[in-house]
Amino acid sequence: MRFLAPALLLAFAAAPSFAKDKKESAEYVHYLSDAQIAAAVELLPPPTTMGSAEDIADREVTERTYVARNAADAALAAKEESFDAFDFATVLGSGFDKAKLPRTAALFGDAKKILALAKNAGKDKWKRERPCPVNSCQWDPEKDAADWKNRDYGYPSGHSTRATAFALLLDAIFPARKPQLDAFGQQAGWRRVIRGVHTPQDIYAGRVLGQAIARDLLANPDFRKQLAEAANELRAAGFKDATTP
């Protein structure tokens, strides 16, 4: 019989209730338990202490990246402010459209809400302040100062969490396109640094969390059944390289 590590047992015992978040969200399938979500969040190490040498260096990367960005990168980062799985149409083609793929849209909609529970738990746990590059915190040409005050914490990045998980879930359907899907997921996360709203540390934490949630979703029989139905829908829509996971 396998025994859980003490830290994992503590994570399960102290698993927070996500009932409020679930209630506030539209109905969706809860493929993962609160304990599974809490265990995924526990995989993240605490972020660096605010004002430490490592923390300052991390934020300086965002500062330099934000200042050096070109107009095209800035526009793409802004366009991805509301990021979902169908942004991967950049890799899969314009036919990857939520309006034409209801089963696929429903599946990734459920996954998105689960990922939101996980990243919100991480943000609430560590409350790490976002970076503040020039023209982003004091005033932002793309977002006004009032909007900045309404932004949440930085660690982990929700975009990076979603982009990583979505790439891995799509890998299961399109294994031949894995390199391109994974690369796009990483780039989407990095564009949050270009946007000036996250540091590399936030992005890497999102990747770890996204991997953990995707792994647990792919291990869930009910989720895999729905994933297979999405793959069938995609083949019927003309994606001949879609495979049944």
The pLDDT score that the predictor gives to residue 12 is 36
- Distance between CA 108 and CA 132 in Å, rounded? 32
Q: What is the pLDDT of residues 138-188, one digit of tens each?
A: 445 455 545 555 567 999 999 999 999 999 999 999 999 999 999 999 999
The pLDDT score that the predictor gives to residue 93 is 97
Q: Find where tokens 């020039």 sit.
A: 134
Q: Which long-range contacts (CB under 8 A, 24 or more apart) does 185-192 make?
A: 185/88, 185/210, 188/80, 188/83, 188/87, 188/159, 188/160, 188/163, 189/157, 189/159, 189/160, 189/163, 189/164, 191/73, 191/76, 191/77, 191/80, 191/159, 192/77, 192/157, 192/159, 192/160
Over residues 125-130, the mean pLDDT reads 93
Burial 128-165 (b: 16+ CB within 10 A, else e): bebbebeebbeebeebeeeebeeeebbbbbbbbbbbbb
Residue 208: which pLDDT band, with cuts at 50, 70 and 90?
very high
Q: Find where tokens 């969706």 sit.
A: 28
The pLDDT score that the predictor gives to residue 150 is 53
Q: Are 202 and 160 in contact (CB under 8 A)?
A: yes
- Distance between CA 85 and CA 104 in Å, rounded? 9
In percent, how much of the chain has pLDDT > 70? Answer: 82
The pLDDT score that the predictor gives to residue 134 is 62
Which pTM value belongs to this model? 0.86
Q: In whole numbers, what is the pLDDT of the chain averaged over residues? A: 87
Q: What is the pLDDT of residues 4-39, one digit of tens each?
A: 333 333 343 344 445 455 444 446 788 999 999 999
In percent, how much of the chain has pLDDT > 90? Answer: 78
Q: Are 169 and 214 in contact (CB under 8 A)?
A: yes
The H-assigned helical ranges of 43-152 are 53-68, 71-79, 89-92, 102-126, 145-149
Asked if the peptide bond before residue 47 counts as cis, ω within 30 degrees of 0, the response is no
Asked if the model's pLDDT at residue 1 lies above 70, the reply is no
DSSP 111: H
| Amino acid (one-letter) located at 149 | K
The pLDDT score that the predictor gives to residue 138 is 47
- Closest to 124 measured CA to CA, from 243, 58, 37, 189: 37
Over residues 199-207, the mean pLDDT reads 98
Asked if the model's pLDDT at residue 198 lies above 70, the reply is yes
The pLDDT score that the predictor gives to residue 41 is 98
Residue 137: which pLDDT band, with cuts at 50, 70 and 90?
low
Q: What is the pLDDT of residues 31-83, one digit of tens each?
A: 999 999 999 999 999 999 999 999 999 999 999 999 999 999 999 999 999 99
- Give how far the C-alpha of residue 137 lies from the chain's centroid of Cα atoms, to the nearest Å: 23
Q: Are 43 and 122 in contact (CB under 8 A)?
A: no
Q: Find where tokens 């430490």 sit.
A: 52
